[in-house]
Amino acid sequence: MRQKLIAGIAALVFMGVTTLAVAQAPDALQLYRSGQYNAAVQATLAEIEQMPRNMNAYSVLGWSLLALNRNQEALEYGNRALGIARFDHRIVHIVAEANFRLNNNERALELYQQYTAIQPQGVHIPQVFFNMGELFIRMGEYNRADIAITTALHHNSESVNWWVRLGFVREQINDHEYAEAAYRQALGINPNHTAALQGLARVQAVVGG
C-alpha cells in the first residue's frame, strides 16, 4: 500500500513538472512577432525535434531565418519541409524567397508561380509578383517583367519604388511613352523621388529628341 502511495505521489509530481515545463515553453510565433528571431529559431528547432512533421514550426522557423538573413538555412529547412508537405503555401513562399535572395533565379520563379496558383489571394501576392518582375529583369525578359510588375501594382498601387522599376523596365523595351507614365505615377506619390525624376528626364529627352 505504501509503495502504491509513493508511486502515485511520484506520478503526480512528474505530471506537475511536465505541465509547468509546457506552460513555460516559449511560444515561437509570439517570439517571431515580437522580433526575437534567434529565440524563435531555437524554439521552433526544439518543436521540430519533438514533432518532425510540424508545419507550423517549420513555417515560423523559415520566417525567422529569413528575418535574420540566414537564407541558406531557410532554404535547407524549407526544402526539408517541402518533402513533408509539398503544397503548404507558407513553405512554398519561404523557399521561393530564400532562392530569390540566393540568386537561384529559375527555382525562385518556379516557386513564386506555384505560390500564385496555390494562394492567389495570399498576403504575399503583391510582393511575389514584384519579385517575379525582378527575376525577369535579371533574365533580361523585360516584357514579362512589365507584366509582372504591372500586376504587383494592380494589388498595391502606392509603392513609389515599384512605379520607378516599371518605368525602368519600359525604358529597356523603348516604350518611352508608358515609361514616362510610370515615372509620373511615382512622382504623384513622392514628387521628390530622385530616381523617378531622373527617369522622367531621360525619357523626356528621348521623346523630345
pTM of the model: 0.85
Report how far residue 46's alpha carbon sits from residue 28's, in angstroms, rounded to the nearest whole number.
Answer: 10
All CATH 1.25.40.10 domain ranges of the chain, comma separated, are 27-111, 124-209
Q: Yes or no: say if 142 and 182 are a contact pair by the CB < 8 Å rule.
A: no
CA distance readout (Å), 157 to 13, 131, 189 = 59, 15, 10
Dihedral sign (CA 86, 90, 94, 97): positive
Class of domain 124-209: mainly alpha
Instruction: List pLDDT tens digits, range 79-131.
Output: 999 999 999 999 999 999 999 999 999 999 999 999 999 999 999 999 999 99
Work out the pLDDT band at 209, boundaries 50, 70, 90: low
Average pLDDT, the chain: 90
Class of domain 27-111: mainly alpha
Dihedral sign (CA 149, 150, 156, 157): positive
Instruction: List pLDDT tens digits, range 127-144.
Output: 999 999 999 999 999 999
